[in-house]
């Protein structure tokens, strides 16, 4: 079984161009051209060293036991990695951020080509698919959110759906090109999204998570404040959507059909809702909002609003989502 697996792997590598079969040279472009259903041929590595003779049969190349699939896409190195030959010997290294061309892969290793033409094996956990065409990879990231009512799907490199986010739900955008982005969802799924399905957020924004009853403020895409809150009670839900701080008021009263209350801070993001302190509350977060929530505003602890006042301004974007 071990020899059979090796034969299958070599057959795949031959067609990928990592190895050459017998008298057939590197100009062969497709696996159909190198398959001789009856011939026993010699397999050699790039240095011309004979590895073994094997029968390159169609059924061996089509056998799925190794579960190799042709990818032929670009990716980038997440951390410094070693490059191996067929015997597992180190034949080189590649540094974090370098662009690679992924020829074929299974669940553990991949056949890749470096920019200088070197080919070999690499462990799959050392790289990610990003489809970036630039010569260097930025180690920066941004955030975005799903635009449409039915959310946005996350795909693997084969185009298989592996996850989904809901409308206005944020994702971390690790890298992108003109058509796709390599993202990480809040529950840790990493994959590809079409850029047409998401909007990028600015570097400074406020995230309001209704489900977790949590407000997070980002400056330069870094968390500068995280606070438990109480949002609108069901029936007076805090409006979902992408908005912005319209004004910052201080030492004022909030009036409604059944209330007249004083607050020290009121940072409003639409005409009826905003962030404000709530002296009548002793606790924030959890499930309080489900039975004792606000009329739509985001209630916060006084000390958290003091900090928020220092790191936001009129015009700061606000993303409210479930």
Pair (306, 255) in one structural domain:
yes
- On whether both 271 and 219 belong to a single domain, the answer is yes
Residue 137: inside a domain, yes or no? no
Question: Burial code of 264-278, b = ≥16 C-beta within 10 A, e = fewer?
Answer: ebbbbbeeebbbbbb
Domain co-membership, 123 together with 225: no
**Domain assignment of residue 159, yes or no:** yes
Residues 161 and 238 in one domain: no
Q: Which residues pair with 81 in a beta bridge?
A: 94
Does residue 162 lie within any of the structural domains?
A: yes
The pLDDT of residue 225: 97
**92/55 same-domain check:** no
Residues 238 and 290 in one domain: yes
Query: Do 111 and 155 share a domain, yes or no?
Result: no
> Do 48 and 117 fall within a single domain?
no
Domain membership flag for residue 233: yes
- H/E run at residue 98: none
CATH code, domain with 156: 2.30.30.40
Structural domain includes residue 100: yes
Among 210, 213, 230, which residue's Cα sits nearest to residue 295?
230
How big is the CA angle at 104 (ends 101 and 109), to the nearest 5 degrees?
95
Rg (CA), the chain: 28
Residues 20 and 79 in one domain: no
Token digits of residue 4? 């059979």
CA–CA separation, 109 and 105 (whole Å): 6
**SS3 at position 13:** helix
C-alpha triplet 284, 222, 294: angle, nearest 5°:
25
Asked whether residue 123 falls in the same domain as residue 155, the answer is no
- Residue 112 burial by Cβ neighbours in a 10 Å radius (0-12, 13-18, 19+): buried
Print pLDDT tens along the chain (322 aa).
334 444 444 444 544 444 443 333 333 333 333 333 323 233 333 444 333 332 333 233 334 344 567 777 777 787 788 888 777 778 888 887 777 888 878 777 888 888 788 888 888 888 876 543 333 334 457 999 999 999 999 988 767 888 999 999 999 998 888 888 889 999 988 888 999 999 999 999 999 999 999 999 999 999 999 999 999 999 999 999 999 999 999 999 999 888 899 999 999 998 889 999 999 999 999 999 999 999 999 999 999 999 999 999 999 999 999 9
Residue 211 and residue 281 in one domain: yes
134 occurs within a structural domain: no
Q: Which domain holds residue 119?
A: 69-129
What is the bridge-based pairing of β-strands 214-219 and 222-230?
antiparallel
DSSP 3-state assignment of 194? strand
Which residue, of 179, 200, 221, is where some domain finishes?
200
Specify if 226 maps to a domain. Answer: yes
Pick from 28, 62, 96: which residue ends a domain? 62
- In this structure, what are the phi and psi dihedrals at residue 14, rounded to the nearest 5 degrees? -60, -50
13 lies in the same domain as 103: no
Find tokens 């946005």 and name the residue. 152
State which of 62, 81, 114 marks the end of a domain. Answer: 62
* Per-residue pLDDT, 182: 87
Count of structural domains, the chain: 4
């Amino acid at each position: 079984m071990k020899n059979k697996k090796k034969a299958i792997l070599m057959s795949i590598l031959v067609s990928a161009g990592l190895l050459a079969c017998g008298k057939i040279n590197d100009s062969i472009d497709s696996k159909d051209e190198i398959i001789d259903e009856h011939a026993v041929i010699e397999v050699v590595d790039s240095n011309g060293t004979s590895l073994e003779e094997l029968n390159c049969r169609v059924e061996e190349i089509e056998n799925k036991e190794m579960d190799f699939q042709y990818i032929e896409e670009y990716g980038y190195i997440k951390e410094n990695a070693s490059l191996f030959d067929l015997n597992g010997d180190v034949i080189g290294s590649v540094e974090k951020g370098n662009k690679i061309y992924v020829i074929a892969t299974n669940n553990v290793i991949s056949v890749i080509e470096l920019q200088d033409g070197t080919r070999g094996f690499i462990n799959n956990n050392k790289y990610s698919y990003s489809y970036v065409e630039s010569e260097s990879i930025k180690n920066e990231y941004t955030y975005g959110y799903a635009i449409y009512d039915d959310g946005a799907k996350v795909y693997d490199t084969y185009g298989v759906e592996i996850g989904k986010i809901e409308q206005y739900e944020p994702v971390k955008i690790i890298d992108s090109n003109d058509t796709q982005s390599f993202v990480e969802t809040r529950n840790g799924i990493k994959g590809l999204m079409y850029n047409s399905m998401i909007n990028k957020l600015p570097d400074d924004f406020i995230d309001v998570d209704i489900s977790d009853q949590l407000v997070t403020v980002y400056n330069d895409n870094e968390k500068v404040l995280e606070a438990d809150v109480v949002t609108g009670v069901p029936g007076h839900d805090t409006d979902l959507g992408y908005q912005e701080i319209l004004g910052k008021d201080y030492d004022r009263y909030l009036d409604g059909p059944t209330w007249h209350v004083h607050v020290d801070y009121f940072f409003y993001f639409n005409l009826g809702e905003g962030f404000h302190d709530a002296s009548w509350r002793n606790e924030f977060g959890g499930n309080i909002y489900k039975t004792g929530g606000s009329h739509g505003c985001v209630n916060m602890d006084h000390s958290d609003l003091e900090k928020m006042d220092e790191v936001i301004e009129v015009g700061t974007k606000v993303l409210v989502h479930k």
